[in-house]
Amino acid sequence: LLTDYAWPDDSVERSVIEEAGHTLVTGPADPASAEAIEELVAEHRPAGILTCWAPVSATAIGASPDLRIVARLGVGLDNIAVDTATERGVWVTNVPDYCVEEVSDHAVGMVLAWTRGLAKSDREVRAGRWDPAGARLRRLSTLTCGVVGYGRIGRATVGKLGAFGCRILAHDPYPPKDAPGAEMVGLEELLRRSDVVILHVPLTPGTHHIIGTEQLALMPPGGLLVNVSRGGLVDTDAVIKALDSGHLDGAAFDVLETEPHVPAGLLEQPGALLTPHIAFSSDASVTELRRRAAEEVVRTLAG
C-alpha cells in the first residue's frame, strides 16, 4: 500500500513492487489524515506500507494482521508509530543517503551565490539597475569555510569546496580519524576563523539554536551563514539582528524554524538567500528514493 505520493505518478514504486510479484494499491495524492490511512489499511490489509508524509499511526499498524514492513520515502521517521511497529515485529525502514549529492551541491551553490553576488545581482538587473561597480564580490580561494557536522553530507561538501582552493575547517563531536581536505577543530575555533559557516548537523535537543547571538558574534565581520539542515539549528531573530547590524553579510537558508512561514524580518534582508526546503531534490534523487524504499519492501517480504 502506497499511502500517499507527492510525485506525478506511482510508476517507480509500481515497477519494483509488481516485478517482485506483489500488488500495489495507491492511496490519495495529498498527505492524508491518520484516520484515512487507518481506513485504507483496514480495507486492504497490506503486507507492506510505503509512506512519504502520511501518518502511519499505531491503529493503522494494528489494522493489518499481515503487515511486515513500513517503508518511509525519506530520512526521518516521525510520521510513523515506530514503537508499535517494533512491538509487533514490523520492520520500519528509511532511505538515509539518497540526496547527499544534492544537499552538498546546494550548500556549495549557496556559497558561490554569495561570493559572486548571483541572487542579489539578478534582482538588481531585473529592477532595471546595471551597476557593475556596486557589486561587492569575493574570491573564494582567499576565504575560510567552516563545515559544522562532518557526516555524509558534510564530507561531500568538504570534498566539493576543495576544488575552489579555500581553507576548510570542520567540526564534529565524533571526529573521524582522517578528514581529507579539512582541518578538524572545536566549534568555537571554527566560528572565530570561518568567513563562511555551513551547517550539516541533525536537529536534536542538543543542537537546537546551535547558532545564536553568541556564536554569530564569534564569526569575523562580513561573513555568510549557510543552513541546509534544519531550521531549528539557527536562532532566526539573532541572524536578522546580525544582518541588520552588518556583522553578518549573508544568510543562505533552505530550511526555516517557521517553514513554510517566512519571517518578514528575513524577507526584508538583501543579504538573505532563501530556498523552500528543496536541497534534497533532483530528478535523480527522487527516483532513487522511490526505488530504494520500494526495494526495502520487496526485500522484507522476501524474508
Stretch that binds ligand NAD, among 21-29, 115-123, 143-151, 235-243 (CB under 6 A): 143-151
By beta-carbon proximity to ligand NAD, the closer residue of 140 and 201 is 201
Task: Tell me how far apart the terminal alpha carbons of the chain are, to the nearest angstrom.
Answer: 18
Per rule CB under 6 A, is residue 292 in the interface with ligand NAD? no
According to CB under 6 A, which residues from 250 to 279 bind ligand NAD?
254-255, 277, 279
Give me 283's grid cell.
530528478
In the set 280, 290, 293, 296, which binds ligand NAD (CB under 6 A)? Answer: 280
Alpha helices in the chain (DSSP H): 11-19, 34-44, 58-62, 82-87, 100-115, 118-126, 152-162, 187-193, 213-218, 236-245, 264-267, 283-301
Q: Which of 78, 89, 174, 302 binds ligand NAD (CB under 6 A)?
A: 174
For β-strands 69-72 and 48-51, DSSP reports them as: parallel
Question: Closer CB to ligand NAD, residue 248 or residue 279?
Answer: 279
H and E: helices and strands count for the chain = 12, 10
**Residue 229, interface with ligand NAD (CB under 6 A)?**
yes
- Report yes or no: 206 and 221 within 8 Å, Cβ to Cβ: no
Residues between 14 and 73 with contacts to ligand NAD, criterion CB under 6 A:
none
State yes or no: residue 171 binds ligand NAD (CB under 6 A). yes
* Residues designated catalytic: 230, 259, 277
Give the binding range for ligand NAD (CB under 6 A) out of 32-40, 132-140, 165-173, 178-186: 165-173
Residue 6 CB contacts under 8 Å (≥ 6 apart), including other chains:
29, 31, 52, 53
Contacting residue, 49, 67, 103, 224, with ligand NAD by CB under 6 A: 103
- The answer to whether 215 touches 191, Cβ cutoff 8 Å, is yes
Q: Report the residue number whose CB is nearest to ligand NAD.
A: 151
Q: Which of 150, 179, 223, 285 binds ligand NAD (CB under 6 A)?
A: 150
As a whole number of angstroms, the distance between CA 235 and CA 127 comes to 31
Pick the closer one to ligand NAD by CB: 176 or 222.
176
Q: Judged by CB under 6 A, does residue 202 bind ligand NAD?
A: yes
Helix runs in 53-204, H state only:
58-62, 82-87, 100-115, 118-126, 152-162, 187-193
Per CB under 6 A, the list member of 4, 38, 172, 257 interacting with ligand NAD is 172
Q: How far apart are CA 33 and CA 164, in angstroms?
A: 47
- Nearest Cα to 287, choosing from 3, 2, 19, 11? 11
Q: Which of 87, 122, 135, 173 binds ligand NAD (CB under 6 A)?
A: 173
x-or-dash string of contact with ligand NAD, 68-97, rule CB under 6 A: -------x----------------------
Residue 161's nearest CA partner among 179, 187, 186 is 179
The residue ranges that bind ligand NAD (CB under 6 A) are 75, 99, 103, 148-154, 171-174, 200-203, 206-207, 210, 228-230, 254-255, 277, 279-280
